[in-house]
Amino acid sequence: MNGSRLRTKPNITQYFRTLCRKSAISAAGVGLKMLPSYVRAVPNGTEFGDYLALDLGGTNFRVLMIRLRGREAEMIGKVYEIPVSVMRGTGDMVSS
């Protein structure tokens, strides 16, 4: 589906549902892996403050400083590559 047709919420929702069906998601969650986000509300443009975001993926660790000023946002960040030895090591290696 092309990007211009996905701009409305119903279209995005339908597209996501189609992808989920194609991925053969079952009640056990097999097919498309996800983590809960715990997002309880969406931004409304009145948010202000500085926030730190940390994203630990499979190959990179991303650190972002996000500065919200109402409807304006600025992101300053750096991406660190995770060494193969840490990727293949124990979880203790990540936290030490």
Interval 17-65: pLDDT, tens? 777 776 655 555 555 566 777 888 888 889 999 999 999 888 899 999 9
Handedness of CA 45, 50, 55, 60 (dihedral sign): positive
**Where exactly are the structural domains of the chain?**
1-34, 40-96
For every residue of 57-90, DSSP letters joined together read: -SSEEEEEEEEEETTEEEEEEEEEEPPHHHHTS-
Q: Which CATH class is domain 40-96?
A: alpha beta
More confident: 72 or 95: 72
Q: Which pLDDT score, from 0 to 100, does residue 14 have?
A: 80
Q: Is 68 exposed, middle or buried (0-12, 13-18, 19+ CB in 10 A)?
A: middle
